[in-house]
Chain A
Amino acid sequence: EPEVTQTPSHQVTQMGQEVILRCVPISNHLYFYWYRQILGQKVEFLVSFYNNEISEKSEIFDDQFSVERPDGSNFTLKIRSTKLEDSAMYFCASMPGASYEQYFGPGTRLTVT
């Protein structure tokens, strides 16, 4: 069964460093998302991406964040200058478009020290 994959599973970085989180969505899906979940809190929407551009972003997704789909398969989230409060689990999700059912990757745990 096709699945969304994410790398790395755990990333530790120092405050102020740039990180890139990578995702490979399911191949025939059309909509792509990034979410974050701070430990013990709810899943929060960050950004959606369709037709090679951002469709919608939340107030969390400020100028420090960017997304790309550079080669038609990978979908990346970049945080330019990490802060302690960026520590969270980051989930990528994709959706076929024929239905509203999202498929989530296993997540990347980001720890900013």
Chain B
Amino acid sequence: RKEVEQDPGPFNVPEGATVAFNCTYSNSASQSFFWYRQDCRKEPKLLMSVYSSGNEDGRFTAQLNRASQYISLLIRDSKLSDSATYLCVVNLRNNFNKFYFGSGTKLNVKP
């Protein structure tokens, strides 16, 4: 079973739309959760960490559901520049040494 699973998409949405992605993780010992953004042939860049209470950064909201072992990312008022692949990343409790990446969800925002 994969450590981290994501719907690969693509999600094709018009500008201004709200879109949500989910990511499930298999290990209940997972402690830290992140969303990264990766543009084509570029490095992953941290979008936001995901806190237990949920957190918001502008148009982006991340939620964590430990009981069901998933995290979500909501993007409101989508911009063309949001087009990218969104990577879910998890880390096990008290372990700085290894991070598990999902395969990513591709988002295409159309004019």
Binding site for B on A (CB under 8 A): 31, 33, 35, 41-45, 48, 50, 55-56, 58, 89, 91, 95, 97, 99-107
Contact A102 B43 (CB under 8 A): no
Contact A106 B43 (CB under 8 A): yes
Binds A, one of B9-17, B21-29, B52-60, B97-105: B97-105
Contact B100 A45 (CB under 8 A): yes
Contact B34 A31 (CB under 8 A): no
Closest Cβ neighbor of B46 among chain A residues? A101
Give complex CA distance A95, B99 in Å.
12
Contact B101 A44 (CB under 8 A): yes
Closest Cβ neighbor of A103 among chain B residues? B46
Judge if B71 is at the interface, Cβ distance under 8 Å: no
Interface string of B89-111 (1 = CB under 8 A from A): 00100001111111110000000
Contact B103 A100 (CB under 8 A): no
Contact A48 B96 (CB under 8 A): yes
Chain A residues near B46 (CB, 8 Å)?
Answer: 101-103
Contact A104 B96 (CB under 8 A): no
Contact A100 B91 (CB under 8 A): yes
Binding site for A on B (CB under 8 A): 32, 34, 38, 41-46, 49, 87, 91, 96-104
Contact B44 A43 (CB under 8 A): yes
* A89-B41, A101-B34, A104-B45 known; A42 vs B104 contact (CB < 8 Å): yes
Chain A residues near B34 (CB, 8 Å)?
Answer: 100-101
Chain A residues near B103 (CB, 8 Å)?
Answer: 41-42
Chain A residues near B38 (CB, 8 Å)?
Answer: 43
Contact A107 B104 (CB under 8 A): no
Contact B42 A95 (CB under 8 A): no
Contact A105 B43 (CB under 8 A): yes
Contact B96 A95 (CB under 8 A): yes
Contact B87 A50 (CB under 8 A): no
Contact B101 A55 (CB under 8 A): no
Chain B nearest Cβ from A6, distance in angstroms: 9
Chain A residues near B99 (CB, 8 Å)?
Answer: 33, 45, 102
Contact A31 B45 (CB under 8 A): no
Give complex CA distance A100, B104 in Å.
20
